Amino acid sequence: MPELPEVETTRRGIAPHLIGRRVSEVRLRRPNLRWPIPTEIAQLLPGERITAVQRRAKYLLVETAIGSAMWHLGMSGSLRILPQDTPPRLHDHVDWLLDSGQMLRFTDPRRFGSLLWQPVGTIHGLLAKLGPEPLSDDFSGDYLWHASRGRTAPIKQFLMDQHIVVGVGNIYVAEALFAAGIHPERDAGSVSRVRYARLAIEVKRILEYAITRGGTTLRDFLSADGEPGYFEQELFVYGRAGEPCKVCGTTIRVMQLGQRSTFYCPKCQR
């Protein structure tokens, strides 16, 4: 699944082509993706000018004066800016035609993505109880330390709880825990304030760097310009089970935590 850096890469790719443009037509080739597409998308969006393109967690919010369209890329979704005469292919489900002569096209072979609507002045239920953004000032070592008191869940699962912090998915949690030297099975409540300070720094550093590198190359992800991400070759533990640790040479291990593959170095992380 595209994680925060992939979604942010997409946002930065499409925003310059959308902001200030008016949606002239919405073409829906199916009535639903993961969920039904709200009627507001086709009925209210045409004629509206796009004022901003924001990201909240892994959702992209395309804002207008009357509300925001909420995109989620799901497992295999992608958004592209294309000429309006580009013929649709099998999995091209949604087109927004713009007054620039371009269009925004959503492609999703697995249809786990979504297109929802948030009226102006409201917060969609999917966004209402989310934790802070990991790249914001609200996310810090002190915040994590306070939030983790009394928690016995493994720290990896704690960090992947969207009520604690949003968008730090499996790949980047694994890399941040390695960089901070923390074993993924350690109880969240047993990690010291000092170690949480370092962990918060590493989460921010790794996410920011991954964004500059276009995200992580996954089988289904392509960035907004059609190019794959370039962060994969720089991973330290994720996907490297059986290979030597780049720091100490110990064999990287993998285990299951919360039904997710969890990669770690048994020597560097404790």
For residue 24, which amino acid is it? S
Does the annotation list 219 as a binding residue? Answer: no
Helix axes 193-212, 141-148, angle to 10 degrees: 120
Annotated binding residue 110: yes
Q: Write the CA distances from 98 to 56, 79, 105, 212, integer angstroms.
A: 24, 14, 11, 28
Assess whether 260 carries a catalytic annotation.
yes
- Cβ-count burial of 189 within 10 angstroms (0-12 exposed, 13-18 middle, 19+ buried)? middle
Q: Are 142 and 176 in contact (CB under 8 A)?
A: no
Q: What is the dihedral of CA 39, 44, 45, 46, to 10 degrees?
A: 110
91 labeled part of a ligand binding site: yes
One-letter amino acid for residue 52 of the chain: A
> Which member of 21, 58, 80, 195 is catalytic?
58
26: β partners = 96
* CA distance between the termini of the chain: 28
At residue 18, the 3 state secondary structure works out as helix
Which of 126, 240, 154, 170 is closest to 4 using CA atoms? 170
Give the tokens for residue 174.
């694994």
**Residues in a beta bridge with 22:** 49
Q: What is d(CA 167, CA 202) in angstroms, rounded to the nearest whole number?
A: 15
The verdict on whether 202 is a catalytic residue reads no
- The DSSP output letter for 188 is G
Q: How far apart are CA 157 and CA 163, in angstroms?
A: 11
Q: Is 3 one of the catalytic residues? A: yes
Please say whether the beta carbons of 235 and 263 come within 8 A. Answer: no
Q: Is 204 a catalytic residue?
A: no
Annotation: binding site for DNA: 91, 110, 151
Active site residues per annotation: 2-3, 58, 260
Known binding positions: 91, 110, 151
